[in-house]
Amino acid sequence: MITKILRGLPFLSILFLVQSNSSAETEFEIAAFSGGCFWCMEAPFEKLEGAAEVISGYTGGHKENPAYEEVSSGGTGHVEAIQVIYDPDRITYSELLDFFWKQIDPTDPGGQFVDRGAQYKTAIFYHNEEQRRLAEKSKLELEKSGRFDKPIVTEILKASVFYKAEEYHQDYYKKSHLKYKFYRFNSGRDQYLRKIWGKFIKPSKEELKKRLTPLQYQVTQEGATEKPFDNEYWNNQKDGIYVDIVSGEPLFSSTDKFESKTGWPSFTKPLEPDNLAEKADRGLFMVRTEVRSSHGDSHLGHVFKDGPQPIGLRYCINSAALHFIPKEDLKKRGYEKYGKLFEK
C-alpha cells in the first residue's frame, strides 16, 4: 500500500514506499491530466494496469485549498484534474498519454461535453522535461493522424500545485454508482468517444502481456512470424470470420480464405478494408507490403500479388494475430451483421 500522499505538493517525481512481504521499494511517478469532469477521468484511469492510485483534484489556479463550489463556478482559475500515481515499470508515460486522448474531445476549447467553462478544459500537466517532450510528440502524432477535422486545442502546461478534492469526490463512480452512470451517459462523452474511436481500441502493453500468449505478443507487437504449417488456422476450414486478437476488429472471412500451400492462413481480400493498414517493409533485404490492423495496430502479416484471379492478391496472415469466430457464434459475440455471409 502507498504510505503517503501529500496534498498541495508540486510533485516532480516522488518515491513512495510500497509495503510488501519482501519490504521492496517501488519508485512511482506522477502524471496529471484535465479532461472535464474529474469523475469521468478518474474511473477509466483507475482500471489501468500499473496505475497505483488516481486522485481527483484541482490545479492551475490562484487560490490555496479551493473548494469544489469555488472551482466549479470558475472563480479560482483552477481546472478539475486527476493525478495518476503509476509504476513506470508496468505502464509508460507514453501509454498514459495514448489512453488520455481516448477519454476526451481534444478539439473543444470551451469545456468538455455538458460541462462548460475554462474549469473543464483539457490539458496535460508535465512534471519534467521528458514528460513535456513526450506530451508534445503525442499531440503532434494525433494532429497528423487525421482523426479530427478540427484543431487539437488541448494545452501542455507545466505542473503546479495539485489540491486533492473533497473526499466525496474520490472514487465517485464507486460511491454513487447509479448517479455516476446516469451523469456519464447524459453527458454525451461515451457516445462521442465511440463515434471517434469506435469500439475497437488497443489495450495497454501490460494488459496485452497478460492477455496474449508469448507468441501472440511477439507477432502482433514485435513483428515476429510464426512457423508455417504449425499454427492454429492455416488449415482451418470452418465458416466464420477472423478478427484481430488485440482489438477484436473484423479482418477476414472464411468465404475469402484459400489454400495457398504456404502454411499460413491466406485470404483474397479483407472483410473490412478500413480495418487494414499497409506499410512498406524493407526487412530481409527486400521490399514487402506489411499488413497491420487499423485500430489495434497489430502486425498481421503481408500482402502479395500472387493470389488467385480475378483479384490476384494473397493476404498472408499469422494465425497468432487472429481470433476465429465461427458463424454460429457471431450474434452472441456482437458480430451478427456478418451472419448474412453464410446464409444459403
Q: Which of 3, 14, 33, 23 is nearest to 102 (CA)?
A: 33
pLDDT at residue 324 tops 90? yes
pLDDT at residue 160 tops 70? yes
Q: Establish how many alpha carbons lie within 13 A of residue 106's alpha carbon, considering only the half-sphere containing its beta carbon.
A: 26
**Which residues are within 8 A (CB) of 205 and not within 5 positions of it... i.e. 6 or more apart?**
91, 92, 95, 221
- Which residue in 55, 97, 316, 321 is the catalytic one? 316
Task: Provide DSSP, 275-287.
Answer: GEEEEEE--TTS-
Q: Going by CATH, does the domain composed of 14-197 fall within 3.30.2130.10?
A: no
φ, ψ of residue 343 in degrees (nearest 5): -80, 135
pLDDT at residue 89 tops 50? yes
- Select 208-342's CATH number: 3.20.20.100, 2.160.10.10, 3.40.50.2300, 2.170.150.20: 2.170.150.20
- Which residue in 32, 37, 82, 123 is the catalytic one? 37
pLDDT of residue 24: 52
* Residue 159 near residue 32 (C-beta atoms within 8 A): yes
User: CA-to-CA distance for 78 and 61, rounded, in angstroms?
Assistant: 4
| Orientation angle between helical segments 38-46 and 177-187, nearest 10 degrees | 110
Residue type, 138: S
pLDDT at residue 25 tops 90? no
- Return the C-alpha cell found at 203: 489495450
pLDDT in tens, 238-286: 999 999 999 899 999 999 999 999 999 999 999 998 889 888 887 767 7
Q: Which of 169, 13, 140 is nearest to 81 (CA)?
A: 169
Between vectors from CA 47 to CA 112 and to CA 214, what angle results, nearest 5°? Answer: 125
pLDDT at residue 5 tops 60? no
Q: Which of 278, 295, 296 is nearest to 287 (CA)?
A: 278
Active site residue 316: yes
- Listed in order, the ranges of the chain carrying CATH 2.170.150.20 are 208-342
User: CA-to-CA distance for 8 and 277, rounded, in angstroms?
Assistant: 46
* Residue 326 near residue 284 (C-beta atoms within 8 A): no
pTM check: above 0.75 = no
Task: Assign 196 to helix, strand or coil.
Answer: helix
pLDDT at residue 142 tops 70? yes
**Which residues are within 8 A (CB) of 293 and not within 5 positions of it... i.e. 6 or more apart?**
244, 246, 247, 249, 251, 275, 276, 277, 300, 321
Q: Peptide bond preceding 106: is omega within 30 degrees of 0, i.e. cis?
A: no
pLDDT of residue 190: 85
Q: What is the helix (H) or strand (E) element at residue 84, kind and residue range?
A: strand 79-86
User: CA-to-CA distance for 172 and 177, rounded, in angstroms?
Assistant: 7
**Which residues are within 8 A (CB) of 95 and not within 5 positions of it... i.e. 6 or more apart?**
204, 205
Q: Which of 98, 74, 205 is nearest to 66 (CA)?
A: 74
